Amino acid sequence: MAGAIDGSEDPTHCAGLHRGMHPRTRLPFVILGVNMALQGTRKNKFVKAWMQEHVNDHWVKEATRLGYRSRAAFKLLELAEKDQLFRPGIGVVDLGSAPGSWAQVLHERLGGGARIVANDLVPMDPVTGVTFIQGDFREDRCLAAVEQALAGRRLDLVLSDMAPNLSGIAAADQARSILLAELALEFAVKWLQPGGDLAVKIFQGEGFQEFQQTMLPYFQRVHVRKPKSSRDRSREVYLVCKGRLPQ
């Protein structure tokens, strides 16, 4: 193993380093190599544990059985049932839609008369009755494309399952989560007709309560929801905003 201490010939020798180096000079490199090896081992163990959990997950099995593309379908189903988000034929925008399980639920529950527009940064396989726009919602060009797809029609429901690519730096990840939620709120305020609803994913942490407060002037009620199908260890929750107020 690169970086491991080889004691068979020289107890101070580190594989891959020159023998002429003084042992005290080599020591930091030895430690670095061992740490890297341990980190790799931990990562492999984490991936294996995650895969094992994923395969055995109840919601994953249910999604497979019912033909949904991911377990996230059950988050939307629970939110919709609890807060009465669905009505036949409504206009909906689904932000952060890939791989498409929410779009599947929308088409299934809203019927053929619904206007459903979905957006994500990454590709999404087609879903019947859903207009998909690939692009970065943070960019004006993508926002314009989504708005053009609405053809001037006001919305009844805005959904955002957008989440940042996690860096492992909690403060940075939290800030990115808040930014995406702010973009979803800004869009909803502009396009929801009076009485319309918004459901947006956000991470609990710094800035969460402040963001929740910014929603209050625009809606009759704001609820914090943690769907049963959301993993217990996850900091994600959904802010469900009911009844867009006239401005």
Catalytic residue among 45, 82, 201, 226: 201
* pLDDT for res 56: 72
Q: Quick check: is 177 in a domain?
A: yes
State whether 79 and 41 are in the same domain: no
Counted domains in the chain: 2
* pLDDT for res 105: 98
Q: Quick check: is 63 in a domain?
A: no
- Asked if 186 contacts 211 with a C-beta cutoff of 8 angstroms, the reply is no
Our CA angle for 100, 106, 110, nearest 5°, is 160
Residues 6+ apart with CB under 8 A from 180: 96, 137, 138, 160, 162, 163, 164
- Asked if 191 contacts 126 with a C-beta cutoff of 8 angstroms, the reply is no
How would you class 149 by CB atoms within 10 Å of its CB: exposed for 0-12, middle for 13-18, buried for 19 or more?
middle
Q: In a 3-state reduction of DSSP, which class is residue 64? A: helix
State whether 4 and 126 are in the same domain: no
State whether 127 and 39 are in the same domain: no
* pLDDT for res 20: 37
CA–CA separation, 30 vs 125, rounded Å? Answer: 48
Report DSSP letters for 124-182, one per residue.
Answer: ----TTEEEEES-TTSHHHHHHHHHHTTTPPEEEEEE---PPP-S-HHHHHHHHHHHHH
Summarised one tens digit per residue, pLDDT across range 91-122 is 999 999 999 999 999 999 998 899 999 999 99
- Asked if 196 contacts 244 with a C-beta cutoff of 8 angstroms, the reply is yes
Distance of CA 81 to the CA centre of its chain: 21
- Asked if 57 contacts 71 with a C-beta cutoff of 8 angstroms, the reply is yes
> At 82, which amino acid appears?
K
Residue 222: other Cβ atoms inside 10 A: 17
* pLDDT for res 6: 30
State whether 47 and 72 are in the same domain: no
* pLDDT for res 222: 98
* pLDDT for res 36: 52
Segments forming the whole domain that contains residue 157: 68-244
DSSP classification of residue 245: P
* pLDDT for res 104: 98
State whether 123 and 208 are in the same domain: yes
State whether 95 and 207 are in the same domain: yes
CA–CA separation, 37 vs 1, rounded Å? Answer: 8
Q: Quick check: is 170 in a domain?
A: yes
State whether 83 and 122 are in the same domain: yes
State whether 27 and 73 are in the same domain: no
* pLDDT for res 231: 80
Below-70 pLDDT ranges, the chain: 1-55
Summarised one tens digit per residue, pLDDT across range 144-172 is 999 999 999 999 999 999 999 989 899 99
DSSP classification of residue 129: T
| 201 part of the active site | yes
- β-strands 155-160, 91-95 pairing: parallel
* pLDDT for res 50: 42
* pLDDT for res 102: 98
